[in-house]
Structure formats: C-alpha cells, structure tokens
Amino acid sequence: MHVVSDSPSRPREGQVLADRLSVFALALFVIYGVRVAATAFPLRPLDTLWQLTISSTLINTAAIPLLGLGLLHLAAYLDPGNPALARRRESLARWAILAVLGFLLLLPLQAYASWSTVATARARLMTQQTSANRNFAQIRDAINSATSSKDLQARLQSLQSPELGIRFQNLGLPLAETKRQMLIRLNEIQEQVKTRINAPPPEAIEDVARNASRLMGTSFVYALAFAIAAQRRGQDIPLLVELLTIWSLRRQADRSRRGVPGAPDRDYLAQLAPLEDDPTRLP
C-alpha cells in the first residue's frame, strides 16, 4: 500500500527536478555570456592582446556553458513529456554546432596571436635599439667633429636627447679633454641603454608557447565535448557520432575501391545501429 501511494509522486518529483535543472542551465548560459561580454568590450578585433584575452576567456570559462548544456539534456531526460523542454534542448543542441566550430577556429587564432605577440615584442625592441644606436652615433660624431668648445656646445644642443643625459658642460678644460670625458660618459650611457633594451628571454617565449599549447589543447577538447551534445536538425545522433560514422563510411569506401576488406568498419557501424535494425541478427 505504501508503494502504491508513493509511485504517482515520482514522475512529479522528476518534473520538478527537471524544471530546476533547466533554470540552472539558463543561469549558467547567462553567466557565461556576461563574463565574455565584459571581457570583449570595448571591441578591438585587430588588437593582438585583445585576441589573446578574449580567446583565453572563451576557453577558460567554457566549462560553464558545457555544464549548462549537460544539465539541459538531463532535464529533458527526466521529463520527456515536456514539449517546451524538448524544444529548448533541440534548439541549444543545434546552437552547440556553432560552439564546436568556434572552438576549432580558436586553434589557429590562438597560434597566430601568440606568434604575433612574440614577433611584435621583438620588432619593438629592434626599433628601440636602432633608434638608440642612431642617436648615439650622431652624438659621437658631433663630439669628434667639434673644432671648439662653442662649436661642441652648438652641435650638442642641436642633437639634444634628454633621455640620453649628454649635455655640454664648460669645465674650463681643453677641448681634447672635454671630448674625451664626454665620450667616456657617452659609452657608459650606451651600455646602460643596451642593458635596458634586451630581447625577450627564452623563458618568456617558452611561457607564451606553453600557454598557447595549453589553450589550444583545451579548446580542441571542448570542441569534442560540445560535439557530443550538438545535434543537427533532423538527426537522431550527436554530431560527433555522425561525423565518426561519415568518416568510417568513407574509409570503408576507400578500402572497397582498393580491394581491402572493411570488416572493422562494418563492426563499428553495427554497434551504432539498434539491434532490431541489424539485418545480420538472427531471430
């Protein structure tokens, strides 16, 4: 008697749980959208740093919508008689195809943005080194070419570079001694500038490459995960299974053209088909 009284409440409990899971899934989608939007604005699609930042955010937080999609599938399973829930699941399953394509497109984007970051840093350093060397050469030439203290002062004033700290000071010394001291000072400053302007250390480049590899690998895994939950319109199997089936059929066709038996592929397809649809199954 106790069992009979409790059995009608079980479907109702499943429906309530399905509704809650559906709300949780919606909340997760909203959270993910807000986090991505907060990172994306203001839009700077041509900025390499922006590309790295937005791709990192999309990948590092992708578990949020993936969990929401899983909860929605679970909710539809718990309440199969809810048509609104079924339509919502089918709609998001189709939208998940875009997520699969997006995470696959993030692979080359992440690789290009990482390479561009290192290349831009190196180019910036080369520009700074070239500019500094040109300034030092001009000042050294002005010192060596001066014929008098006034001429030296005029030449240096025309080439004044405040960041270099080379200024004429009349200490009452002979011109040759003044030139010698200024050249010594110029060489000291040039060495200091060379110390400040260094190429990116190998550790920094390795960190960029390691982070890019981690994000690219994670993005590929998320593409596979969303492909499990994605489903094209009119299809009864997930997108990943559909792609594997197409790939297997093409392999079987290639083997048939080459005269190679394709038994492994037939076994695989037989496992995908329901038992009642298997023509080789005996009654």
DSSP result, 53-117? HHHHHHHHTTHHHHHHHHHHHHHHHH-TT-HHHHHHHHHHHHHHHHHHHHHHHHHHHHHHHHHHH
The Cα–Cα gap between 187 and 193 comes to: 10
Determine the Cα–Cα distance for residues 88 and 73; give it in Å rounded to an integer. Answer: 10
Average pLDDT over residues 137-150: 86
Q: Mention every residue, 6+ apart, whose C-beta is less than 8 A from residue 36.
A: 54, 57, 58, 61
Q: How confident is the model at residue 172 (pLDDT cuts 50, 70, 90)?
A: low
13-30 mean pLDDT: 91
* Inter-axis angle of helices 48-60 and 9-40, nearest 10: 170
Residue 34, pLDDT above cutoff 90: yes
Percent of the chain with pLDDT over 90: 31
CA dihedral (136, 138, 143, 146) in degrees, to 10, reads 180
Which of these, 105, 110, 108, lies nearest to 51 by C-alpha position?
Answer: 110
Q: For the segment 253-265, what is each residue's pLDDT rounded down to a tens digit?
A: 878 777 655 555 5
Of all residues in the chain, the percent with pLDDT exceeding 70 is 82
Using the 8-state DSSP alphabet, how is residue 172 labeled? Answer: S
User: 62 and 103 in contact (C-beta within 8 Å)?
Assistant: yes
Mean pLDDT score, 234-261 = 82
The confidence score (pLDDT) of residue 7 equals 52
Place of tokens 């106790």: 2
The secondary structure element, H or E, covering residue 189 is helix 175-196
Domain boundary assignment for the chain: 126-196, 237-278
Q: Report the pLDDT averaged over residues 52-71.
A: 94
Q: What is the pTM of this model?
A: 0.68
Angstrom distances, CA of residue 199 to CA of 119, 127, 158, 189, 195: 11, 11, 31, 19, 10
Q: What is the pLDDT of residue 280?
A: 47
